[in-house]
Amino acid sequence: MTTSAALLKSIQSSSAGLTLAGLLAQHPGLARRTVQRWMSQWVAQGLVTASGEGRARRYGAPAQPALAGAIASTDRFPLHIPLSADSRDILAYVDQPLQARKPVGYQRDFLDAYQPNVSGYLPESLRRQLHNMGKTTLANEPAGTYSRAILSRLLIDLSWASSHLEGNTYSRLDTVALIEHGQAARGKAAIETQMILNHKTAIELLVDNVGSAGVNRYLLMNLHSALAENLLPNPSDEGRIRQHAVDIGQSVYRPLSTPQQIDETLEVLLLKLNAIADPFEQSFFAMVHLPYLQPFADINKRTSRLVANLPLFRANLCPLTFLDVPEQAYSRATLGVYELARVELLRDLYVWAYERSTQEYLAIKQDLAEPDPTRLAYREVIKQTIRDVVQHPHADALTAIAQAILQVPQADRDDVHALVVQELRRLHEGVLARYGLRPSELAAWQAAQHSL
């Protein structure tokens, strides 16, 4: 399926420009009138240049002006992501050297001015567009049904893409091997392996809490703790309100520094977040205000990216995986929020990123295998049984399983018994968080089995 991004990329990668006929030939799935409308918009926005008249009219990429401060061409905001005029204004500001930008602190008015379901960062027409993009065949099922059905794919895509935005060099194949088989990639730093595994644990925590009342303080703190495990200089900062001032790299923004102020502001932020009705508006609000507040010593953006997915999980919409989102685009968009308290650049990136994510999930949306109903119905029994078996390594596992499944109706016991045994056979470090287990407990249990 051809998208506006693919069409824009064709134009911007053509050295001599393309005629309308040439564009339609390259993208036969697009209607002529649609392409003409996009061309008019992009020319008006300065994303595309037009020269010539009639059938000879050619569309090409605009020349890139040299930016003060010597921004490398490889570090510029990618041309293939469409931007509004407001977004280009923000980009022009944050692309200036640090000394040309005005130091600024946290603007509480930015949060206070937002009124849930009255204010809105995403216009209604844009929300409708996002809903159409993200609609799944499980839209009318209980909250979280879709995210659980695609969990294996989601763990890989979101763990990999979100980590990549932090400079992680794991490939997608490396991530598959780590998450599915517990195999760390050779030649990679331990911090990169830890980051991927932390994402996996945090995503599972999110999916397990889809049915909770909202993004409450408990969930937020534990989500950060999962993402931060073994990655912060001071382990006591994991899942705890920041106790000291922080600097933002390559920015003139200075967040709040007093723990009491941070704590009080976070409470207001969570109240507003949970009052928002539309899942996309709620998702985007989290991506704006959590990093802006910087409630934690580090790992604020990672936390916000996962929190932004919770409303989508609840509504059985496609996830926002951040696949192929360039780090330089994401960092510029967040700088626009930090230094100008403006959301337009991040909004344009959010819409582009969501369209990119949904393209990856189109096949899944149309041809999604139904989740195993027995596994779904008795998932808590299965998880508790596996945890009990592993935490009592010298007890007889089959006896423990038989005892645990007495609470299951007689007709389903054999199936549940088989599922527990199957899960125990493929238990490895990469899935321990699902069962609330630690690596040391797994090692002790495996050693006990080998000694029999």
CATH code (residue 39): 1.10.10.10
- Do 311 and 257 sit in the same domain of this protein? yes
- Do 232 and 347 sit in the same domain of this protein? yes
The Cα-based distances of 178 to 110, 208, 270, 421, 422 in angstroms read 41, 21, 34, 22, 20
Q: Which residues contact 106 (CB under 8 A, 6 or more apart)?
A: 254, 255, 256, 265, 292, 293
> Is residue 259 situated within a structural domain?
yes
Output the pLDDT for position 349: 97
pTM: 0.70
Higher pLDDT, 396 or 116: 116
> Is residue 85 situated within a structural domain?
no
Whole-angstrom distance, CA of residue 357 vs CA of residue 411: 41
Whole-angstrom distance, CA of residue 24 vs CA of residue 319: 31
> How many CB atoms neighbour CB 189 within 10 A?
12
Higher pLDDT, 150 or 360: 150
Q: Is the CB of residue 172 less than 8 Å from the CB of residue 401?
A: no
Whole-angstrom distance, CA of residue 429 vs CA of residue 197: 9
Task: Give the position of tokens 């992680």.
Answer: 168
- Do 291 and 432 sit in the same domain of this protein? no
Output the pLDDT for position 71: 42
Whole-angstrom distance, CA of residue 204 vs CA of residue 169: 22
Residue 128: which pLDDT band, with cuts at 50, 70 and 90?
Answer: very high
> For the segment 426-441, what is each residue's pLDDT rounded down to a tens digit?
888 878 888 889 888 9
In 3D space, the residue among 344, 243, 320, 359 whose CA is nearest the CA of residue 5 turns out to be 359
Q: Is the CB of residue 261 less than 8 Å from the CB of residue 276?
A: no
Following DSSP, what letter does each residue of 223-281 receive, concatenated?
HHHHHHTTTSSSGGGTTS---S----TT--EE----HHHHHHHHHHHHHHHHH--SHHH
253-291 CB burial, b ≥16 within 10 A, e <16? bbbbeeeeebeebbeebbebbeebebbbbbbbbbbbbbb
Q: How many CA atoms lie within 13 A of 406 on its CB side?
A: 6
Domain that holds residue 10: 4-60
**Residue that is last in its domain, among 336, 366, 396:** 366
Lowest-confidence range among 4-13, 218-227, 290-299, 437-446? 4-13
Whole-angstrom distance between the N-terminal and C-terminal Cα of the chain?
A: 56
> Is residue 84 situated within a structural domain?
no
Lowest-confidence range among 121-125, 256-260, 371-375, 405-409? 371-375
**Residue that is last in its domain, among 366, 394, 429:** 366
Tokens of 212: 């909770």
> Is residue 89 situated within a structural domain?
no
The Cα-based distances of 121 to 114, 281, 283, 423 in angstroms read 9, 7, 11, 44
> Is residue 295 situated within a structural domain?
yes
**Residue that is last in its domain, among 309, 341, 366:** 366
Can you give the CATH number for the domain in which 297 is found?
Answer: 1.10.3290.10
Specify the amino acid at residue 395.
A
Structural domains of the chain, count: 3
> Is residue 83 situated within a structural domain?
no
> For the segment 168-178, what is each residue's pLDDT rounded down to a tens digit?
999 999 999 99
Task: Give the position of tokens 């000694």.
Answer: 451
Higher pLDDT, 80 or 43: 80
pLDDT at 75 exceeding the cut of 70: no
| Helix residue spans in 186-235 (DSSP H) | 190-208, 217-228
Q: Report the SS3 class of residue 450.
A: helix
- Do 220 and 327 sit in the same domain of this protein? yes
- Do 285 and 314 sit in the same domain of this protein? yes
> Is residue 72 situated within a structural domain?
no
Whole-angstrom distance, CA of residue 91 vs CA of residue 246: 24
- Do 298 and 417 sit in the same domain of this protein? no
Higher pLDDT, 281 or 26: 281
> Is residue 431 situated within a structural domain?
yes
Lowest-confidence range among 5-19, 83-97, 173-187, 284-298? 5-19
- Do 275 and 230 sit in the same domain of this protein? yes
